[in-house]
Structure 1
């Protein structure tokens, strides 16, 4: 497991050298899975052009030394489709991106990664066949962790706390937990771990994350120690309680 805050400290190694650090994670608010890592390209691309990298390209995550490697060269990333940092990632852009890198489309099939359980299984799929089978353009469900960080949490009774972090597994890249900090609402507050299944809606206009929990039910969620994310047994216990 790895948190969004931790990932923002990671460097990204391409096949021919570093390409900067991880700036953000874009997640799907329907399937709750990380769709893209956003690279900070200040050190090597003019005007710091925004670069998004699919987890499909990630070959290794080193949690001790805080870096991840991808099976792409810096040149292939540099020549890839550009994107405006201040606009949402559209499905049309995703199709262009996936065609350029030769990935299959994750939105074709019943699972979080289409017909597959792991993102790397989408490499070298038959894109032409998939285009023919593709349904009508669905609604875009991509959201930025940087954006949602700080959103208030609305229970069935009141507002309690705000979103302070996100925990992903670094294998299938699923979003496992939302971390809610209640210090601004309650004296001696806590950091609580909540499953995505408890999230009812993410309201961009009001900057709130609505949960299907009462105030008391939310306060019964397990408190998490963010310094123990490397402890597999500890995380397993938290996930069982969340």
Structure 2
């Protein structure tokens, strides 16, 4: 099932032994287009500090109750090593974070999540050996905020057309399946879906998303129905 990032903002985060706060943002990998962390505001529990929660820890999502399950205890979260909640996130801090929770690292493998297609813990999992961790220690982080990219202009092959309004994420592997783009009043003002496969690059300096599609192709795409969030994305037509 797919979920709107905007809809997930404000969802309560329920740990194994009580509430830990609510969702205030998402950090995604701009190479693989997958959410790596949820940003959680802990409210009065941890003096309002923000913490990052990996999808490895996320259980069920309950849209009706606006709640996400977190398969960790409050104590486990409170005692976790410090990790930047402001971008950029240091890779060393990420390694310490993943080592603390004994989760597989997501970088350095062929899958969306390292060696795996989804944030799951393989049977008989053991943390990487020190030499393996050293091998990836030079890798750069490519984390970006969905809030930052929201509002970026969409640059087609032959002109600008609207801006990024939202993101649709897959609850199984937390991949971004589509960007929701508002085409603007000059182009009927409707919302259409743009998959990451159509994106050539994102220019952070220009605040633009460049796609290898024409204005006409985007304009003639059917309007996205927000009522379909929470459904299988095969129910939608989209560029491939």
Q: Do both proteins adopt the same fold according to a TM-score greater than 0.5, normalized to the shorter chain?
A: yes
Are the counterparts in 2 of residues 151 and 162 from structure 1 also a CA contact under 8 Å? yes
**CA displacement at 1:144 relative to structure 2:** 0.6
Q: Residue 20 of structure 2 corresponds to which residue in structure 1?
A: 19
CA distance 1:43–1:226, shift in 2 (3 Å): farther
Q: Distance in 2 between matches of 1:123 and 1:41?
A: 32
Q: Distance in 2 between matches of 1:187 and 1:128?
A: 51
Q: Distance in 2 between matches of 1:191 and 1:213?
A: 16
Q: Residue 120 of structure 1 corresponds to which residue in structure 2?
A: 120
Gaps of 5+ in 2: none
**CA displacement at 1:59 relative to structure 2:** 1.8
**CA displacement at 1:136 relative to structure 2:** 5.6
TM-score by length of 2: 0.91
Query: Does residue 236 of structure 1 match 2:234?
Result: yes
Moved over 4 A (4+): 239-242
Q: Distance in 1 between matches of 2:108 and 2:67?
A: 31
Larger RCO, structures 1/2 (Cα 8 Å, 6+ apart): 2
**CA displacement at 1:51 relative to structure 2:** 0.4
Q: Residue 36 of structure 1 corresponds to which residue in structure 2?
A: 37
Question: More helix by proportion, 1 or 2?
Answer: 1
3-state DSSP of counterpart to 2:7: helix
Q: In angstroms, what is the RMSD of aligned CA positions?
A: 2.0
Q: Residue 227 of structure 1 corresponds to which residue in structure 2?
A: 227
Query: Does residue 88 of structure 1 match 2:91?
Result: no
Does 116-125 or 86-95 show the bigger shift?
116-125
Q: Distance in 1 between matches of 2:123 and 2:147?
A: 28
TM-score by length of 1: 0.90
Gaps of 5+ in 1: none
Per-residue CA deviation, residues 82-128 of structure 1 (Å, 9 max, x unaligned), is 34443311211110110111111111320101111220235873324
